[in-house]
């Protein structure tokens, strides 16, 4: 069974962050520049929230707020649903589905060690299923 630590080993543990007092415009620019859909909101080494394109659309655009005048803390999701490196891909998929989130910070102890997205999880499931199908085909043919 694939675990989060296996995804991070392939994907890498790079995370992109923004501070809670930064304007939303900074967060949106960072997401666009990094081609990611969410940023971890960090106060030093402490994970205090997560902000996504969805948060921006629903809490800034639709409410007529200013991206340059609204701080990230006003639109971030907190507390954050997190996983640890030993959680399984299935557990993460269930969490994403049940909680309607697309990004899960990976926390070991009190330290953020990575982020997995729904895309990462789907890719892992497809790969694992492909391997299982191959094994079954070899078993049937052999």
> Range of 10's domain?
4-141
Closest C-alpha to 108, from 7, 5, 1: 5
Considering the chain, what percentage of its residues have pLDDT values greater than 90? 81
pTM: 0.88
- Looking at the structure of the chain, the number of domains it has is 1
14-55: pLDDT as tens digits: 999 999 999 999 999 999 999 999 999 999 999 999 999 999
Residue 125: which CATH number?
Answer: 3.10.580.10
The number of beta carbons lying within 10 Å of the beta carbon of residue 28 is 18
Burial environment of residue 14 by CB neighbours within 10 A (0 to 12, 13 to 18, 19 or more)? exposed
> What pLDDT shows up at residue 17?
97
pLDDT digits (tens, 9 = 90+) for 84-142: 999 999 999 999 999 999 999 999 998 999 999 999 999 998 888 877 788 878 878 87
Please report, for the chain, how many H helices and E strands are present, in that order: 5, 5
What values do phi and psi take at 18, rounded to 5? -145, 155
Residue with tokens 């070991």: 108
Q: CA 140 from chain center: how many Å?
A: 39
Average pLDDT of the chain, as a whole number: 93
């Amino acid at each position: 069974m694939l675990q989060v630590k296996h995804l991070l080993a392939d994907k890498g543990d790079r995370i992109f962050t923004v501070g809670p007092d930064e304007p939303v415009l900074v967060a949106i620019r960072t997401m666009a520049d990094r081609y990611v859909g969410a940023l971890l909101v960090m106060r030093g080494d402490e994970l205090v929230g997560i902000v996504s394109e969805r948060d921006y659309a629903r809490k800034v655009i639709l409410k007529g707020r200013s991206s340059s005048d609204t701080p990230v803390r006003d639109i971030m999701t907190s507390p954050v649903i997190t996983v640890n490196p030993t959680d399984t891909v299935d557990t993460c998929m269930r969490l994403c589905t049940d909680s309607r989130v697309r990004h899960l910070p990976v926390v070991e102890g009190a330290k953020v060690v990575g982020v997995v997205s729904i895309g990462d999880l789907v890719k892992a499931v497809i790969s694992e299923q492909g391997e299982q199908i191959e094994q079954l085909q070899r078993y049937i043919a052999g």
